[in-house]
A and B are shown apart, each in its own frame.
Chain A
Amino acid sequence: MKNPYIPYLVEILDAWYEAPGDRCIKTFKVTFADPAVWDVWSHRPGQCAMVGIPGVGESMFCVSSSPTEQGYLRFSIMKTGRNTSALHELEAGDRFYVRGPYGNTFPLDEWKGKNIVTIGGGIGQAPLRPVIQYIRDNRDDYGELTVIYGARTSADHCFKQEFEEMNACGDVCCHLSIDVEEEGWPHFVGFVPQLLLEAEPKPDNAIAVTCGPPIMIKFVLQNLEKLGFQPEQVYTTLENRMKCGIGKCGRCNAGPLYVCKDGPVFSYAQLKQVPEAFA
């Protein structure tokens, strides 16, 4: 069996900034240096991978591309610490290391035939992106797709172009927001939980998936309840510090859960049993 601690070398095909600032977000489009890795690598939307540079460290990020996008992986990474800062230095042609994929996935097979609502905030859109992409690539299998997304300012919006495309194509119902009024902003102004109430998705035959800062998730969950969503219909992802990614080091534990193995995807119904999940 392969040593799970040894990462694969990847090469950056393309890299660009999604959002500026101190905590800027950069997206990396990468492929394995050894094409044979593609034969053993298969990830599903929601899964994560350890991304790192030997000599600096590793951190867990969700794979922000859908398996339906062939030939590359995408990671959208916010600059927060030592490892992410080092990653941000890298450009197309540079290399780093990836191991994974880790964790569980959004149960997209179970969701077939349902209406899907994604509610994202800031960098929280990264794990939702593969869900949206996957559904769009298998459009006939799913009902309506509603995408709700907000960030602090219009510049902080990730995946801007893709939202524009989605707005234009018509097969996705797209709701965007920013926190504070800006000149020329044609969409909603306010926080994501408010936008959710505004958009008012119907709970019938629907699944809601939310991802974002903890405070946003807290109010989104409340508002989804108000809209009539049952806890079983609501999914989110958890994030904790991680080191091994393979259920050994214990760091990501939230109560009895290993976020890296049992998660990162959990239904709200599941998390209600684990008080530490919301700590």
Chain B
Amino acid sequence: MADKILKKDKAAEALKELSKFRLFAPAKSDDVVLFRQIEDPAEACLDYANSTVPPKKVVFPQTETLFRFKLGNPELREKNVEEEGTTVIFGLRPCDARAMSIVDNLFSWDYEDPYYLKRRELTTLVGMACVTPPSVNCFCASVGGEPFGTENLDLLLVDMGEEYLVKVLTDKGGKLAETIGSFMENAPEGAAAKAEELAGAAREALSRSIDTSGIEAKLPALWDSPLWKEVSAACLGCGICTYLCPTCHCFDIQDEVEDAEGRRCRMWDSCMFREYTLHASGHNPRPTRKERTRNRISHKYSYFPGKFGVIACVGCGRCVNLCPVNIDILEILGKVVEA
């Protein structure tokens, strides 16, 4: 399908139309932007930098039921993800969309994870290109992304000032575009070229970068390096860097019972927590934050690429922006390169 134009004053109507699906869009709560299920287009905030919590939570909810049961009854009732129906994530950043394609590797290797994959199948991703980098700590271009990246997106919106240029990237995107076709018009000649120009400028505007070549091989060799103690000294051991990472995917499984009914559910977990690896015997293979930090970096930049051929980091900068003590993954990687 040819490129379209969605005038900004029509955006609300388009969102209204899309809200017949399960529609997630960035919305403001106080000063925090989070992806929320939107019923009223007025809640959406499309003029935003980036969401604090990545939209991974739509396809990989922080807590989700795997199956339900009644005590004393052997029947296990599987959660039916299909029931959630068609889902649209509107206005996500290209890095966050790319992150989902990275996580897809994990959830589909060997055993297929039915919950995640079904949700991915049901979800259409409508991206919002980064005309200006959302933060000084964006470094998507260093890890295979682009401010105008289209990877894994079904539609890409480019903010051209008065209007959005809508690029249709997949059939799924095409179908979605049709449902809001009446609010859009054909893109005038030159719009694509203007978008190209903006893309180039956005790429130029990225202020941080890292040369990742060689890091994958180098990390295992730095196992005993003193650098890990140095970079983890300030670490508080909280879950910010992992929970807010669009590619982090570790989870815990717990059973919950309320009266005679129960469920087995899974919830995000973080390798930065002490309990994460703690054995029942009291032994902990990663006894301090030093080992946990080493694991976090190594997993993203060495183990994951070793297994799936892609770095498990999209350069969104959240872990740098939001770390309470300014632990900076680019600084750590810089030290790895230098070491």
Please say whether chains A and B are actual partners in one complex. Answer: yes
- A residues sitting closer than 8 Å to B (CB atoms) are 1, 3-7, 9, 33, 54-58, 80-81, 84, 95, 97, 214, 239-241, 243-244, 246-251, 253-256, 261, 275-276, 279
Within the complex, the shortest CB–CB distance from A48 to chain B, in Å, comes to 14
Given contacts A248-B106, A255-B303, contact A95 B253 (CB under 8 A): no
Q: In the complex the two chains form, is B303's CB within 8 Å of A253's CB?
A: yes
Q: Using CB atoms, name the residue of chain B closest to A278.
A: B285
List B97-131 residues whose CB lies under 8 Å from chain A. 106-107, 109-115
How distant is the Cα of A57 from the Cα of B66 in the complex, in angstroms? 13
Mask: chain B, 232-272; 1 = CB below 8 Å from A; 0 = not:
00000000000000000111111101000010101001010
User: Which among B71, B110, B220, B280 is the interface contact of A80 at CB below 8 angstroms?
Assistant: B280
User: Which among B110, B113, B251, B278 is the interface contact of A241 at CB below 8 angstroms?
Assistant: B278
Q: In the complex the two chains form, is B107's CB within 8 Å of A55's CB?
A: no
- B residues sitting closer than 8 Å to A (CB atoms) are 66-67, 69, 71, 74, 76, 78, 106-107, 109-115, 220, 223-224, 249-255, 257, 262, 264, 266, 269, 271, 276-281, 283, 285-286, 291, 295, 298-299, 302-303, 306-307
Within the complex, the shortest CB–CB distance from B99 to chain A, in Å, comes to 16
- Residues of B within 8 Å of A95, CB to CB, are 74
Q: Using CB atoms, name the residue of chain A closest to B275.
A: A241
Q: Choose among A56, A84, A97, A250 the residue with the greatest number of B CB atoms under 10 Å from its CB.
A: A250
Within the complex, the shortest CB–CB distance from A80 to chain B, in Å, comes to 4
Q: In the complex the two chains form, is A254's CB within 8 Å of B285's CB?
A: yes
Overall SS of chain A's interface: loop
User: Which among A9, A33, A261, A279 is the interface contact of B110 at CB below 8 angstroms?
Assistant: A261
Within the complex, the shortest CB–CB distance from A204 to chain B, in Å, comes to 34
Overall SS of chain B's interface: mixed
Q: In the complex the two chains form, is B78's CB within 8 Å of A240's CB?
A: no
Q: Using CB atoms, name the residue of chain B closest to A50.
A: B253
Q: In the complex the two chains form, is A249's CB within 8 Å of B253's CB?
A: yes
Within the complex, the shortest CB–CB distance from B213 to chain A, in Å, comes to 19
- Residues of A within 8 Å of B295, CB to CB, are 253, 276
A-B contact pairs, 24 of them (CB 8 A): A4-B111, A5-B66, A5-B67, A5-B114, A6-B66, A6-B78, A33-B74, A54-B69, A54-B76, A57-B255, A58-B253, A97-B76, A241-B279, A249-B251, A249-B253, A249-B269, A250-B249, A250-B299, A253-B295, A253-B299, A256-B303, A256-B307, A276-B285, A279-B291
Q: Using CB atoms, name the residue of chain B closest to A243.
A: B253
Within the complex, the shortest CB–CB distance from B113 to chain A, in Å, comes to 6
Q: In the complex the two chains form, is A248's CB within 8 Å of B302's CB?
A: no
Q: In the complex the two chains form, is B114's CB within 8 Å of A3's CB?
A: yes
4 tightest Cβ-Cβ pairs between the two chains A and B: A250-B250, A246-B111, A256-B303, A279-B285
How distant is the Cα of A279 from the Cα of B278 in the complex, in angstroms? 12
Given contacts A3-B78, A54-B69, contact A248 B107 (CB under 8 A): yes
- Residues of B within 8 Å of A57, CB to CB, are 253-255
Given contacts A4-B111, A55-B262, A244-B251, contact A80 B74 (CB under 8 A): no
Q: In the complex the two chains form, is B111's CB within 8 Å of A247's CB?
A: yes
Q: Using CB atoms, name the residue of chain A closest to B253.
A: A243
Within the complex, the shortest CB–CB distance from B23 to chain A, in Å, comes to 27
Q: In the complex the two chains form, is B76's CB within 8 Å of A7's CB?
A: yes
- Residues of B within 8 Å of A249, CB to CB, are 250-253, 266, 269
How distant is the Cα of A146 from the Cα of B264 in the complex, in angstroms? 43
Q: In the complex the two chains form, is A279's CB within 8 Å of B286's CB?
A: yes
How distant is the Cα of A56 from the Cα of B306 in the complex, in angstroms? 36
Q: In the complex the two chains form, is B307's CB within 8 Å of A1's CB?
A: no
Q: Using CB atoms, name the residue of chain B closest to A78.
A: B280
Q: In the complex the two chains form, is A251's CB within 8 Å of B303's CB?
A: no
Q: Using CB atoms, name the residue of chain A closest to B276.
A: A251
Q: Using CB atoms, name the residue of chain A closest to B270.
A: A250
Given contacts A6-B67, A55-B71, contact A214 B283 (CB under 8 A): yes
- Residues of A within 8 Å of B78, CB to CB, are 3, 6
Q: In the complex the two chains form, is A248's CB within 8 Å of B251's CB?
A: yes
- Residues of A within 8 Å of B266, CB to CB, are 243-244, 249
- Residues of B within 8 Å of A97, CB to CB, are 76
How distant is the Cα of A81 from the Cα of B224 in the complex, in angstroms? 33
- Residues of B within 8 Å of A243, CB to CB, are 251-253, 266, 269
- Residues of A within 8 Å of B254, CB to CB, are 57
User: Which among A7, A248, A250, A256 is the interface contact of B111 at CB below 8 angstroms?
Assistant: A248
How distant is the Cα of A161 from the Cα of B255 in the complex, in angstroms? 37
User: Which among B69, B74, B279, B280 is the interface contact of A55 at CB below 8 angstroms?
Assistant: B69
- Residues of B within 8 Å of A250, CB to CB, are 249-251, 269, 271, 299
Within the complex, the shortest CB–CB distance from A38 to chain B, in Å, comes to 18
Q: In the complex the two chains form, is A54's CB within 8 Å of B111's CB?
A: no
Given contacts A6-B76, A248-B251, A251-B250, contact A240 B111 (CB under 8 A): no
- Residues of A within 8 Å of B307, CB to CB, are 256
- Residues of B within 8 Å of A1, CB to CB, are 112, 114
Q: Identify 6 new A-B residue pairs, CB closer than 8 A, beyond the known A239-B279, A243-B266, A244-B253.
A: A4-B111, A6-B67, A54-B255, A58-B253, A214-B283, A251-B252
